[in-house]
């Protein structure tokens, strides 16, 4: 895939999201369904890599770019993550007074709850690919439950899940 | 700029870069914790920015597309050192983590040849599914209180239906949701 097109598609996803993982449905539609540049398994792995790294959320987009085109693709992903935040500068110049407008706040809340539905819907095909037996199902449920109480423990969860997968293989 | 009358000393670009590098990559607790640390460091500790300047950047960062923390970095640093400051802050906040993500991704590919590594990776992929469930819940849960649960549940269900059964694109679903939110007010 052309690097510029890769950047444009990833930027389309980051421009239409308002938090870390809400770009996921757009990315799956473009890269898995439309252009077939990524499998559900790779998208799932990108999510895991993004969550395991330090720093801001949403950097799984870098991993998506890396899967498509190596280091140049990863850099395109980084640029796609870095582009939308600069929109705040014209907003600071012209829209500062609108930030607290109740209707705009309400529209933003509606987009956030809609994104919850979209993320859940997008997770289903990824779950079908990853949850192929009792152990992966237990790991997924355990991760979900643990992260409800310890939201920032993602690195710990990924480490324990890897160990559990390994243990399952040894005991088989 | 909002900050002109209160800046005591304009930091060098290098100092600004180092501060954002540390805040974004070494503050534990996620986006809200990073932005809280930015408020303390930029306003109280270093006096590079007024509280009003920080508050407006914080509010606008929440309605800026993309990653909120990076928008907050860009908005605060722009008020302190203009465009070069904004670019330095966003680079500092995102590049180290992006390199870590690329190394981890490469690791996933390189380890596929070993059966043991494949089993460990399968475990992490299952965990990622659980994480997506948590991400969806964390987006919805704050709105499930007495005053807002109805519009929240209706709009979230509508987005599932539009995407899954009516084959709307995700962007169109978000557009419909934004229009719904403009008409059907979801209170603060």
Dist CA A165 CA A145 (whole Å): 18
Q: CB distance A84–B64 less than 8 Å?
A: yes
Task: Kindly state whether B180 is in contact with chain A, defined as any CB-CB distance less than 8 angstroms.
Answer: yes
Please compute the mean of the pLDDT values over residues B66-94 and round it to a whole number: 92
Average pLDDT over residues A92-97: 73
pLDDT in tens, B130-148: 888 887 887 788 889 888 8
Domain ranges of chain A: 3-130, 131-172
| pLDDT tens digits along A106-165 | 887 888 788 788 878 878 887 888 888 899 999 999 999 988 887 667 778 888 988 998
How does the average pLDDT of chain B come out, rounded? 83
Please state the rounded mean pLDDT for residues A43-66.
Answer: 84
Mutation target to probe the B interface, by most B beta carbons within 10 A, among A33, A114, A153 is A114
Average pLDDT over residues A43-61: 82
Residues A135, A138, A140, CA angle at the centre, nearest 5°?
110
The chain-wide mean pLDDT, for chain A, equals: 85
Helices in chain A by DSSP H: which ranges? 3-15, 24-27, 40-52, 60-82, 88-94, 102-130, 134-149, 154-171
**B residues 15-74 near A, CB within 8 Å?**
24-26, 28-31, 34, 56-57, 59-74
Q: pLDDT at position B27, please? A: 64
Partners of residue B136 in chain A, C-beta under 8 Å: 116-117, 119-120, 123
pLDDT at B15: 92
- Closest Cβ–Cβ partner in B56, B102, B139 for A66: B102
Judge if ipTM > 0.85.
Answer: no
Average pLDDT over residues B115-127: 82
pLDDT average, residue stretch A27-52: 86
Q: Does the pLDDT value for residue B2 go beyond 80?
A: no
**B101 and A120 in contact by Cβ < 8 A?**
no
CA B14 to chain A, closest CA, distance in angstroms equals 19
Instruction: Classify residue A149 by burial, with Cβ atoms within 10 Å: 0-12, 13-18, 19+.
Output: exposed
Burial class (CB in 10 A: 0-12, 13-18, 19+), B167: exposed
pTM of the model: 0.74
Share above pLDDT 70 across residues of chain B, in percent, rounded to a whole number: 91
């Amino acid at each position: 895939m052309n690097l510029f097109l890769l950047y444009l598609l990833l930027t389309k996803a980051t421009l239409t999201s308002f938090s870390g993982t809400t770009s996921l449905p757009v990315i799956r539609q473009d890269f898995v369904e439309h252009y077939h540049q990524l499998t559900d398994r790779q998208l799932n792995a990108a999510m895991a890599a993004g969550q395991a790294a330090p720093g801001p959320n949403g950097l799984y987009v870098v991993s998506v770019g890396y899967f498509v085109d190596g280091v140049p693709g990863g850099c395109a992903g980084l640029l796609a993550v870095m582009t939308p935040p600069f929109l705040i500068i014209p907003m600071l110049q012209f829209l500062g007074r609108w930030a607290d407008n109740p209707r705009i706040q309400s529209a933003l809340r509606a987009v956030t709850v809609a994104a919850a539905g979209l993320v859940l819907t997008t997770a289903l095909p990824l779950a079908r690919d990853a949850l192929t037996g009792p152990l992966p199902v237990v790991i997924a449920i355990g991760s979900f439950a643990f992260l409800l109480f310890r939201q920032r423990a993602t690195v710990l969860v990924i480490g324990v899940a890897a160990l559990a997968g390994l243990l399952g293989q040894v005991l088989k | 700029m909002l900050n002109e009358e209160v800046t005591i000393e304009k930091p060098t670009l290098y100092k600004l870069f180092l501060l954002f590098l540390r805040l974004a990559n070494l503050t534990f607790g996620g986006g809200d914790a990073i932005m809280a640390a930015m408020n303390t460091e930029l306003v109280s500790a270093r006096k590079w920015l007024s509280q009003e300047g920080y508050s407006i950047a914080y509010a606008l960062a929440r309605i800026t597309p993309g990653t909120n923390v990076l928008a907050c970095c860009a908005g605060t640093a722009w008020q302190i050192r203009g465009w070069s400051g904004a670019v330095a802050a966003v680079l500092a906040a995102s590049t180290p983590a992006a390199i870590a993500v690329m190394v981890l991704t490469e690791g996933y590919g390189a380890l596929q040849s070993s059966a043991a590594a494949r089993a460990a990776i399968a475990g992490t992929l299952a965990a990622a599914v659980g994480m997506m469930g948590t991400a969806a819940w964390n987006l919805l849960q704050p709105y499930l209180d007495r005053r807002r649960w109805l519009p929240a549940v209706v709009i979230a269900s509508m987005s599932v239906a539009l995407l899954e059964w009516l084959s709307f694109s995700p962007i169109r679903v978000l557009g419909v949701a934004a229009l719904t939110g403009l008409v059907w007010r979801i209170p603060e």
